[in-house]
């Protein structure tokens, strides 16, 4: 398969490799260029190009008013070996220190390395000096993959309060631009709680990244062909947009297979490329990942659309269109790509097979009559760190997998909070992480996490996994 920098799965960090997202860039430029810059959250499904877009904002200093003295900081959290509070604040302080020295604004400062409180104080002092004494007029902090910070061992309410304090205190000059797969409200709500009057998420404007527009998608295809010096016809481009849709990652994968087929002179190219794209491990992973992230209602609607059943235009359908999972072709809603549709239909067949094979013969039933389960069930695959619930594959984090293994080995037995803390988390953690870990696991395996039927609480003792 053709492998070029343009067609790689790495973010497009060069302007020459970045295609499209003009509407998004204009939106960010408008928010950052105002007299008081606005905080922005770019929300997009996996592999939708969030990192590439965020880096373009950093590299081109999009939104910096003409003539103003500004600094743009780029924090890519996926590169951190640990996604905890100390690592985050240390990274932010180091990035700021390096940028201010490079700009000739302030000499290099001494950064505390092992204490979060000291790090924040040093960072706060530096910002005050930069923005109020050193003549810096605008500071934009871009944080990619914010999701990485919001997990069992990541940041907490105190960190969000600190970020909110910085954004409020220096708001006339400082703005945050964050990318994430979910809205900040959804990500941070478990950390803040209902008592928070003005949570961190309230400071942000949200932009939902969907599909590329058609002109941008066509441009991506033609640019790939131009780089590889293998021209694409209008029919080739139409085929790519049908098979991969206007999703930037899937489109690059499909372009790679078509370019390879053209170079090798393969006959019946469309059939060969279609098979290659649909059975590509990356396409399969992304398609199933997109399905996993959908609610039960959203999944049911996707199944209806995949089966070509009549669908009315509703708020839920409009939401799926904004996510980039569905597009309108005329008045007919369709899945955004044939490759994605293939895996949705595979999932439908898997669910149907599970229902048939999972039926249990009731003692009072007639010969051959089966009774299918009326409640959801799940299967755990510890080696893959996955559970399969109602035919849908859900990935688990390492910690969630360890927790479920431990509970499964003690099925129908009460596991005390201290026991779970000692055997799953290890030393150095408080009992609060156990409740948080249980709640996150419930969200993945329970149909209604507020009314769990598998992981039950043993009041005053701990938790029990019911068979």
For the record, the structure tokens of 25 come out as: 């860039």
Tell whether 204 and 253 lie within a shared domain.
no
- Whole-number pLDDT of residue 40: 96
How many angstroms separate the CA atoms of 247 and 448, rounded?
Answer: 32
Residues 63 and 163 in one domain: yes
In a domain, 198, yes or no: yes
| Structure confidence by residue, pLDDT tens digits, 450-465 | 778 888 887 667 888 8
Q: Which domain-ending residue is among 209, 237, 262?
A: 209
Predicted confidence at residue 51, as pLDDT, reads 92
Q: Are residues 186 and 48 in the same domain?
A: yes
**450: DSSP letter:** T
* Domain-terminating residue out of 264, 279, 294: 279
Other Cβ atoms less than 10 A from the Cβ of 344: the count is 21
367 falls within a domain:
no
Domain total in the chain: 4
CA–CA distance, 344 with 302 (Å, rounded to integer): 8
User: What does the mean pLDDT of the chain come to?
Assistant: 85
Specify the pLDDT at position 276.
Answer: 92
Residue from 363, 360, 386 nearest 374 by CA: 360
Pairing of strands 378-381, 332-335: unpaired
15 lies in some domain: no
> Do 222 and 294 fall into the same domain?
no
Phi (first) and psi of residue 41, to 5 degrees: -125, 115
Any residues with CB less than 8 A from the CB of 9 and at least 6 apart, and which?
47, 249, 252, 282
Residue-wise pLDDT tens digits, 8-20: 778 888 888 888 8
Instruction: Indicate if the pLDDT at residue 354 is higher than 60.
Output: no
In a domain, 8, yes or no: no
Residue span of the structural domain in which 151 resides: 21-209
Burial class (CB in 10 A: 0-12, 13-18, 19+), 342: buried
In a domain, 4, yes or no: no
Q: Two tokens at 382?
A: 């510890």
Q: Is 319 in the same domain as 458?
A: no
Check whether residue 221 and residue 243 sit in a common domain. Answer: yes
Rounded percentage of the chain residues whose pLDDT exceeds 70: 90
Coil vs helix vs strand at 379: strand
Residues 198 and 226 in one domain: no
**Same-domain pairing of 387 and 421:** yes
* pLDDT given for residue 114 in this prediction: 82
Residues 99 and 172 in one domain: yes
In order, the DSSP letters of 387-447 are EEETTEEEE--HHHHHHHHHHHTTTTSEEEHHHHIIIII-TT--THHHHHHHHHHHHHH-S
Q: Do residue 270 and residue 298 come from a single domain?
A: no
Q: How far apart are CA 455 and CA 397, in angstroms?
A: 17
* Same domain (yes/no): 194, 78: yes
**Residue that is last in its domain, among 209, 234, 249:** 209
Q: Is the confidence at residue 399, as pLDDT, over 70? A: yes
Residues 123 and 31 reside in one and the same domain: yes
């Amino acid at each position: 398969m053709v492998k070029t920098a343009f067609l790689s799965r790495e973010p497009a960090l060069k302007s020459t490799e970045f295609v499209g997202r003009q509407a998004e860039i204009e939106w960010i430029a408008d928010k950052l260029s105002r007299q008081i810059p606005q905080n922005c959250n770019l929300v997009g499904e996996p592999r939708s190009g969030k990192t590439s877009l965020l880096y373009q904002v950093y590299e081109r200093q999009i939104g910096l008013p003409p003539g103003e003295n500004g600094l743009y900081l780029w924090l890519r959290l996926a590169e951190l070996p640990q996604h905890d509070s100390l690592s985050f604040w240390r990274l932010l302080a180091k990035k700021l220190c390096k940028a201010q020295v490079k700009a000739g604004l302030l000499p290099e400062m001494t950064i505390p390395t092992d204490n979060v409180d000291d790090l924040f104080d040093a960072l706060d002092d530096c910002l005050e000096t930069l923005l109020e004494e050193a003549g810096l007029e605008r500071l934009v902090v871009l944080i990619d993959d914010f999701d990485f910070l919001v997990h069992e061992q990541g940041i907490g309410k105190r960190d969000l309060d600190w970020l909110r304090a910085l954004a409020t205190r220096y708001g006339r000059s400082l703005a945050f631009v964050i990318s994430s797969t979910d809205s900040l409200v959804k990500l941070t709500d478990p950390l803040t709680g209902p008592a928070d009057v003005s949570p961190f998420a309230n400071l942000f404007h949200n932009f939902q990244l969907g599909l590329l527009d058609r002109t941008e998608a066509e441009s991506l295809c033609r640019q790939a062909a131009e780089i590889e010096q293998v021209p694409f016809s209008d029919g080739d481009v139409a085929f790519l947009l049908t098979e991969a849709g206007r999703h930037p990652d899937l489109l690059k994968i499909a372009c790679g297979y078509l370019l390879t087929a053209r170079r090798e002179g393969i006959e019946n190219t469309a059939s060969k490329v279609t098979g290659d794209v649909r059975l590509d491990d990356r396409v399969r992973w992304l398609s199933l990942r997109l399905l996993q992230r959908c609610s039960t209602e959203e999944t049911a609607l996707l199944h209806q659309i995949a089966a070509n059943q009549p669908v009315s235009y509703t708020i839920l359908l409009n939401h799926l269109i904004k996510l980039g999972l569905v597009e309108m072709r005329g008045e007919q809603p369709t899945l955004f790509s044939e490759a994605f549709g293939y895996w949705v239909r595979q999932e439908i067949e898997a669910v149907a097979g599970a229902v048939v094979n999972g039926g249990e013969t009731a003692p009072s039933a007639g010969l051959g009559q089966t009774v299918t389960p009326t409640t959801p069930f799940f299967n755990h695959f510890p080696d893959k760190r996955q559970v399969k619930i109602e035919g849908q594959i859900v990935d688990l984090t390492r910690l969630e997998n360890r927790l479920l293994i431990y509970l499964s080995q003690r099925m129908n037995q009460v596991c005390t909070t201290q026991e779970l803390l000692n055997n799953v988390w290890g030393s150095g953690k408080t009992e609060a992480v156990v409740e948080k870990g249980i709640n996150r696991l419930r969200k993945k395996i329970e149909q209604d996490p507020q009314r769990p039927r598998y992981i039950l609480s043993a009041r005053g003792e701990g938790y029990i996994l019911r068979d």
